[in-house]
Amino acid sequence: MEFPSRFFVTGTDTGVGKTLVSAILMTGRKAAYWKPVQSGLETMTDTAWVQQMTGFSDHLFVPETYRLSQALSPHAAAVEDGVSISLSAFQLPDQDRYPRLIVEGAGGVMAPLNEKHFMVDLMKYLALPVLLVARSGLGTINHTLLSLEKLRNRGLDVFGVVMNGPKNRINKQAIETYGGIRVTAEVETLSHIDGRSLAEAYAQYFR
């Protein structure tokens, strides 16, 4: 599979495996990682989790633009912290310093950032190609087709879908047929997550 050198990882929902898939791709592609909006600082942040699991050093991790304390939708977490999220605050990390970059969104495509903008607007603002992570099981066809429609409506280039969880041939076929897109990989449940299993997952699922 040919990957763009820098891309945005979104998902059909929160908890679908964006961070895990980002960690696999980071490991396999020796890419840097950036989570522009982190909501929730009480438990481990996505950046800290990816760093711990991959074991990669600090220079491959771009600091978050917004670090919001509550684990809420970005628009609500921002209100709680008394800040407002502005698209112009986001700056795509330097191409020379981070030639390979994986950017992980918060929640799904329509997670609000403020009163006017949604996660999809951030993708558009950063002008990156998009990889959509979807769960493999029941309900995924609807969520995936809706997400694809929204992304394409905004003129974003969606270059693939990663299905995460126990393989489901019928759902994969439906997403490819109705969505007009290739399922790039079907990532199964990893029994253990560390640098080695992430590298193995990349070799097994993405090559």
**Residues designated catalytic:** 35
Strand 183-187, strand 61-62: pairing? unpaired
Q: Of 82 and 138, which CB lies nearer to ligand ADP in the complex structure?
A: 138
State the minimum distance, in angstroms, from the CB of residue 67 to ligand ADP.
16
Q: Of 6 and 35, which CB lies nearer to ligand ADP in the complex structure?
A: 35
State the minimum distance, in angstroms, from the CB of residue 170 to ligand ADP.
19
Q: Of 95 and 142, which CB lies nearer to ligand ADP in the complex structure?
A: 142
Query: What is d(CA 85, CA 198) in angstroms, rounded to the nearest whole number?
Result: 33
Q: Residue 201: how many CB atoms within 10 A of its CB?
A: 22
* Residue ranges that bind Mg ion, judged by CB under 5 A: 18-19, 46
Query: Quick one: which H or E segment has residue 62?
Result: strand 61-62
Partner touching 187 among Mg ion, ligand ADP, none, CB below 5 to 8 Å by kind:
ligand ADP
Query: What is d(CA 47, CA 61) in angstroms, rounded to the nearest whole number?
Result: 7
State the minimum distance, in angstroms, from the CB of residue 20 to ligand ADP.
4
E runs forming strands in 75-140: 101-108, 130-135
